[in-house]
């Protein structure tokens, strides 16, 4: 067992003080650590039947990223599962629980291709960590069926899948046209807020009365994120006259954007409120909130959730010109974020998207909050069995920047190759992680262009008098636990009821997996989004030693550790388990060698 003492600012092995964070490295450092005594629509079912025909004010609410959660869900005994043959999409061989060594998580959108029991279970076995419900499609009945399937799968203890509800949000769309319009460059068309314009005589209706007020002469009007573009020439009280710049075919109900501007619409529509309440009722883990323009709407939703007694993480989708202008405030208020590059690339010049992606990822990293990079990551695999080389590089860049998760949309919702898409994403992410570790050690800095990751809760001057606050002490402990695990090249094992310490350990990006044991099913699912964490459900006993041994046995049974291997057990966090509130400890244990395997080293 390794032991030591934490006093004030903890010295690192090379003599530097822990308070000098910007020069810290997590590898090649000899730690001095261990205990501290401190005071202190149409449903999916209809579409699925047809998929063979297709290719396929005061702000009293806490903003803590891991605030209180509801109690866990009682589970039934393990249910069996046998995949069935299908011909509509390719099907992989079902495997056992996925290897824990891929630290970047995968979010999969569930749709016609993936909403059946066998298809969803196949995605989960292939590596899906979060199931996304896209509320722009389907109805509550079909989404409820998906939630039930995810919970059924989680009961099998093969993998751990969280549920994310993605709101539709406010949208500006064109009206119905009698027939598709072939727009040629130089041709002029009129978009009007007057009802009844159906494309005849070059007039097309818009569903948003404020459209006239939001646009200006010389603005660029984008259709479906830039598939068509028109320059605004003039406007009246009801009409906007445009000239086609980039032509194409204009159909009904197309999405409209103004380059560089956000529509003055409420971030949460009436439909969204109904969907959010649905999420509370069925027990989702995260909301992906569309078209957030400021932090106010996040505080409003947090207040609503508090009144409902619900603990659901709020991940604003950064996808508008206004959202990047208020990025810092939004990230402070939220529980994480999503880089929604589709609409972001429509409202901003496309060349600015990589810059803002890095800013959003690093902004979440600094705050210790999870971040998802989304949109077009493997778009070509909707119809093709292999990705483009640019798509592979796109995934690798997101991983190197330090994202917690990468997301698949149409690839798994209605694509021909959903399982190959997940497999490609998992393989690229894992290979990139291994390369980072092999050639330079896992860097805390994200990309080389990004600022160093600093404290989430910075140590203050009060720590000099031996009275550091609990949040600061927990974080310092997480940093040194990570340093120890990296130095001895081993995994971290942590026990948590609220998820605080696993999240802190994830923030410091240890080189090896974090195994987080919890007796709360909600916490287990929520931790599925965090980088490097494999969350496992287990009932804690009153005796710490008994629980430790039970946990190590479970890790060994699953093949996560083997006899003779060392693991670092962390006891810290906001809620004491088998310790006093002022005591924090790290211990290194050797996994017992199986008597049947005499070949393992002592």
DSSP code at position 204: E
Answer for the pair 115, 44: CB distance below 8 angstroms, yes or no: yes
Answer for the pair 173, 78: CB distance below 8 angstroms, yes or no: no
Q: Is 375 a catalytic residue?
A: yes
Q: Quick check: helix, strand or coil at residue 93?
A: coil
Q: Is 317 a catalytic residue?
A: yes
**Would you report the helix, strand and coil content of the chain in percent, each value rounded to 5?**
35, 20, 45
Cα distance from N-terminal residue to C-terminal residue, the chain: 15
Rg (CA), the chain: 25
In angstroms, the CA 159 to CA 299 distance is: 33
How would DSSP label each residue in 329-375?
HHHHHSS-EEEEHHHHHHHS-GGGHHHHHHHHHHHHHHHT--EEEES
In angstroms, the CA 515 to CA 551 distance is: 9
Answer for the pair 103, 238: CB distance below 8 angstroms, yes or no: no
The active-site residue out of 103, 132, 293, 525 is 132
| Distances in whole angstroms, Cα of residue 224 to Cα of each of 106, 268, 347 | 26, 21, 11
In angstroms, the CA 26 to CA 443 distance is: 8
Residues 6+ apart with CB under 8 A from 412: 108, 109, 110, 111, 113, 114, 123, 128, 418, 421, 422
The two tokens of residue 564 are: 């003779």
The closest of 54, 154, 209, 129 to 403, measured between CA atoms, is: 129
Number of H helices, E strands in the chain: 17, 22
CB atoms within 10 A of CB 328: 12
Pairing, β 583-590 against β 36-37:
antiparallel
- Residue linked to tokens 């395997």: 597
- Strands in 256-258's sheet, in edge-to-edge order, are 203-205, 188-192, 239-246, 228-235, 220-223, 256-258
In angstroms, the CA 112 to CA 382 distance is: 13
The active-site residue out of 38, 317, 341, 443 is 317
CB atoms within 10 A of CB 16: 14
The closest of 240, 181, 179 to 208, measured between CA atoms, is: 240
For 456-568, where are the alpha helices, taking DSSP H only? Answer: 470-487, 500-507, 521-526, 544-557
The active-site residue out of 151, 173, 558, 574 is 173
Q: Estimate to the nearest angstrom the gap between the alpha carbon of 44 and the chain centroid.
A: 23
CB atoms within 10 A of CB 257: 24
How would DSSP label each residue in 19-42?
T-GGG--SSS-----SBEE-----
CB atoms within 10 A of CB 427: 14
The active-site residue out of 190, 192, 375, 518 is 375
Residues annotated as part of the active site: 132, 173, 317, 375
């Amino acid at each position: 067992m390794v032991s030591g003492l934490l006093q004030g600012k903890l010295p690192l092995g090379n003599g530097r003080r822990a308070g000098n964070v910007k020069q810290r490295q997590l590898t090649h450092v000899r730690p001095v650590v261990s205990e501290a005594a401190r005071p202190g629509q149409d449903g999916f079912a209809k579409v699925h039947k047809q998929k063979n025909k297709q290719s396929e004010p005061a702000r009293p609410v806490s903003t803590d990223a891991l605030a209180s959660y509801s109690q866990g869900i009682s589970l039934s005994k393990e249910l069996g599962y046998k995949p069935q043959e299908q011909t509509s999409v390719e099907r992989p061989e079902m495997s056992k629980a996925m290897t824990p060594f891929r630290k970047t998580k995968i979010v999969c959108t569930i749709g016609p291709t993936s909403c059946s029991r066998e298809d969803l279970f196949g995605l989960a076995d292939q590596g899906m960590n979060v199931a996304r419900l896209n509320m722009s499609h389907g109805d509550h009945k079909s989404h409820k069926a998906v939630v039930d399937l995810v919970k059924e799968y989680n009961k099998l203890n093969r993998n751990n899948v969280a549920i994310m509800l993605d709101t539709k949000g406010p949208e500006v769309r064109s009206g119905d046209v009698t027939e598709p319009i072939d727009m040629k460059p130089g041709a002029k068309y009129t978009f009007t807020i007057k009802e009844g314009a159906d494309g005849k005589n070059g007039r097309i209706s818009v569903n948003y009365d404020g459209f006239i007020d939001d646009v200006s002469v010389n603005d660029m009007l984008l259709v479906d994120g830039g598939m068509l573009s028109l320059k605004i020439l003039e406007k009246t009280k009801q009409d906007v006259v445009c000239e086609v710049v980039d032509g194409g075919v204009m159909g009904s109900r197309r999405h409209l954007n103004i380059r560089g501007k956000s529509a003055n619409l409420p971030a949460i529509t009436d439909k969204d409120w109904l969907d959010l309440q649905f999420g509370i009722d069925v027990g989702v883990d995260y909301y992906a909130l569309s078209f957030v323009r400021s932090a106010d709407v996040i505080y409003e939703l947090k207040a609503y959730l508090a009144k409902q007694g619900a603990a659901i993480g709020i991940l604003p989708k950064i996808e508008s010109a206004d959202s990047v202008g208020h990025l810092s405030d939004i990230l402070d208020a939220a529980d994480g974020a999503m880089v929604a590059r589709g609409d972001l690339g429509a409202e901003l010049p496309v060349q600015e998207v990589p810059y803002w992606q890095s800013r959003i990822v690093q902004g979440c990293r600094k705050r210790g909050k999870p971040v998802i990079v989304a949109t077009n990551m493997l778009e070509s695999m909707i119809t093709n069995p292999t990705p483009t080389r640019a798509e592979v590089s796109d995934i690798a860049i997101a991983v190197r920047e330090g994202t917690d998760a990468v997301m698949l949309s149409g690839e798994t919702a209605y694509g021909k190759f959903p399982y190959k898409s997940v497999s490609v994403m998992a393989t690229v992410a894992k290979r990139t992680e291994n390369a980072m570790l092999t050639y330079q050690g896992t860097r805390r800095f994200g990309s080389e262009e990004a600022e160093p990751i600093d404290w989430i809760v910075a140590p203050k001057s009060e720590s000099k008098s031996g009275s550091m606050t609990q949040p600061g002490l927990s974080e310092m402990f997480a940093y040194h636990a990570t340093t120890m695990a990296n130095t001895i090249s081993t995994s971290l094992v942590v026990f948590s009821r609220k998820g605080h310490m696993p999240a802190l350990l994830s923030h410091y990006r240890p080189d090896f997996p974090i195994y987080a044991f919890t007796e709360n099913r909600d916490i287990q699912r929520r931790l599925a989004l965090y980088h490097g964490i494999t969350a496992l459900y287990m009932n804690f006993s009153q005796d710490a030693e008994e629980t430790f041994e039970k946990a190590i046995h479970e890790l060994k049974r699953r093949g996560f550790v083997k006899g003779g291997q060392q693991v670092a057990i962390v006891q810290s966090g906001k809620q004491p388990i088998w310790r006093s509130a002022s005591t924090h400890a790290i211990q290194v244990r050797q996994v017992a060698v199986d008597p049947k395997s005499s070949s393992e080293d002592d």
